[in-house]
Amino acid sequence: MKTEQFNQIIETILEHCADTLINKAKEYATEDRLHNFKVAAGLQNTTPVQALFGMMSKHTVSVYDMCQGGEYPLSV
């Protein structure tokens, strides 16, 4: 893969991530953008970082499963 194509893919993915974060904030966030992590930490009697790790693990498994199955949400 040439650098120009790689850079375009990165740009596309970053734009998609930014759009997702902005749109999801409307659905999930309060004035405190870390609200969900703090509440999850309280529910689990842990820290917000540890709660984030648990949430991230779910997404990591999902990405792994997509890669194993050959399904990709973005064209690469």
Domain ranges of the chain: 3-69
Q: Is this structure's pTM higher than 0.75?
A: no
What's the CA gap between 37 and 51, in Å, rounded? 6
- What is the predicted pLDDT for the residue at 73? 62
> What number is the average pLDDT over the span 58-64?
91
pLDDT of residue 11: 97
Q: In Å, how far are 23, 28, 62 from 40, measured between CA atoms?
A: 21, 13, 20
- Kindly state the average pLDDT of the residues 49-70: 91
**Would you say residue 57 has pLDDT above 90?**
yes
| Per-residue pLDDT, 71 | 67
